[in-house]
Amino acid sequence: ADYFKGNLSSIEIAMQEVLDNLNTNYISQHPIGWYIVDFYLPEQNLIVECDGDYWHNRSGVQERDAKRDSYLRRKGYKVVRIWEHEIKKDAKNAFDSGNFEEFIRFYFLSIEKLTEVFHLKIFRKDLKTENGKIIDDLIEDIVKKIEIPLVDINEFKYWRRIRNNIIHQNLKIDKDRADKGKEFFDELYRKMSKSYIKYDD
């Protein structure tokens, strides 16, 4: 993917075939801001980028890609990057794996945002003054205050490690694990949202 694109590359054609076989609604070469993304799946609000092994391993390119991804995620998009060698090995599996990982990342981010808002509502403290507390600590603070067992904190820590390994170690996960993660985060988000609405200090 780059700022300006022309014809589809061979790996983009392979990914297009995957999306066609899945009967997925998508737009190829879709402009978003200054960028043109390889594929945009509107029903999932998902961007799929196909990265050539040579080009995207060049000096400075991955830093530029990270900046681009950050911009797109701030705009509310989910972003999946799939390497050329992964597509050539098994394009369908590469798409599935990247999709699962991005959804875990997205679900976790939603929980982080809700936790920060809930913590502020309860304690009236700017999180910048909380001495580097991580999200586990914030959730434990909330649970102690409202006296409602929102989550098994050890299970939450497990999924945080999974999220971190996806981001920092390029962990690949399968559909079963992804489904369990989605189920866990959905339930936690539901409980936290309900408690947030009901909480009155």
Q: What is the pLDDT along the chain (201 residues), one digit of tens a residue?
A: 444 455 788 999 999 999 999 998 999 999 998 899 999 999 989 999 998 888 787 888 888 888 999 999 989 899 999 989 999 999 998 898 888 888 888 888 889 999 999 999 998 876 665 556 788 889 999 999 999 889 999 999 999 999 888 888 878 888 888 889 989 999 999 999 999 998 886
pLDDT at 35: 92
Which residue in 54, 45, 23, 49 sits closest to 36, CA to CA?
A: 49
Query: For the residues of 12-69, what is the DSSP string, one character each?
Result: HHHHHHHHHHTT---EEEEEETTEEEEEEETTTTEEEEEE-TTGGGSTTHHHHHHHHH
Beta bridge partners of 83: 51
| Among candidate residues 64, 88, 112, the one where a domain is terminated | 88
Work out whether the CA dihedral 56, 60, 64, 66 comes out positive or negative. positive
Q: Does residue 26 sit in the same domain as residue 119?
A: no
pLDDT at 3: 46
pLDDT at 4: 47
Work out whether the CA dihedral 188, 193, 195, 196 comes out positive or negative. positive
Q: Does residue 98 sit in the same domain as residue 181?
A: yes
Q: Does residue 77 sit in the same domain as residue 105?
A: no
Q: Does residue 20 sit in the same domain as residue 55?
A: yes
pLDDT at 191: 94
CA dihedral 54, 59, 61, 63 (to 10 degrees): 140
Answer yes or no: is 155 within a domain. yes
Q: Does residue 33 sit in the same domain as residue 112?
A: no
Answer yes or no: is 4 within a domain. no
What is the span of the domain harbouring residue 162?
A: 92-198
Beta bridge partners of 48: 39, 80
Say whether pTM exceeds 0.75. no
Span 121-176, pLDDT tens digits? 998 876 665 556 788 889 999 999 999 889 999 999 999 999 888 888 878 888 88
Answer yes or no: is 69 within a domain. yes
CA dihedral 60, 65, 67, 72 (to 10 degrees): 170
Number of domains in the chain: 2
pLDDT at 129: 56
CATH of the domain at 66: 3.40.960.10
